[in-house]
């Protein structure tokens, strides 16, 4: 039973560029959430997707956008990268309607130079 998988593992981008991160949820899960974890901090909620729509959003600017595909996989896009976007980006999946805990992937380490 595959868990949550994220790609790539590491990424280095230049300020002003755009980046796309990818996530496949755990088998049987239909909801994907994205979190940003800055160095030394806890994860911060970016947004959540269910049925291919953004359902909830945290306090992040519109430069952060996403998408969910019919197979429940998801992408996180960040435009006009800033140095402060450097962080570990975690994808988590769950089952909508059930009070299940989040299952996390190993994250993508994004460095903006």
Partner 1 sequence: AQTVTQSQPEMSVQEAETVTLSCTYDTSESDYYLFWYKQPPSRQMILVIRQEAYKQQNATENRFSVNFQKAAKSFSLKISDSQLGDAAMYFCAYKRTGNQFYFGTGTSLTVIP
Q: Which of 78, 90, 110, 112 binds partner 1 (CB under 8 A)?
A: 90
- Nearest to partner 1 of 8, 16 (CB atom): 8
Residue among 44 and 79 whose Cβ is closer to partner 1: 44
Among 7, 58, 75, 86, binds partner 1 (CB under 8 A): 58
DSSP string, the chain: ----EEE-SEEEE-TT--EEEEEEPPTT--EEEEEEE-TTS--EEEEEEETTEEEEE-S--TTEEEEE-TTS-EEEEE-S--GGG-EEEEEEEE-TTS-PPPEE---EEEEE-
101 binds partner 1 (CB under 8 A): yes
Selected binder of partner 1 within 24, 33, 68, 74 (CB under 8 A): 33
Give me the residues that bind partner 1 (CB under 8 A), please. Answer: 31, 33, 35, 40-45, 48, 56, 58, 88, 90, 92, 94, 96, 99, 101-107, 109
């Amino acid at each position: 039973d595959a868990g949550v998988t994220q790609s790539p593992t590491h990424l280095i981008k230049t300020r002003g560029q755009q980046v796309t991160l990818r996530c496949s949820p755990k088998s049987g899960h239909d909801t994907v959430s994205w979190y940003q974890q800055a160095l030394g901090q806890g994860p911060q909620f970016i947004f959540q997707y269910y049925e291919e729509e953004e359902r909830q959003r945290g306090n992040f600017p519109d430069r952060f956008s996403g998408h969910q595909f019919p197979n429940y996989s998801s992408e996180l896009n960040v435009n006009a990268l800033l140095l402060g976007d450097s962080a570990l980006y975690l994808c988590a999946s769950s089952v909508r309607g059930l009070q299940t805990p989040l299952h996390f992937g190993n994250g993508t380490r994004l460095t903006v130079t």
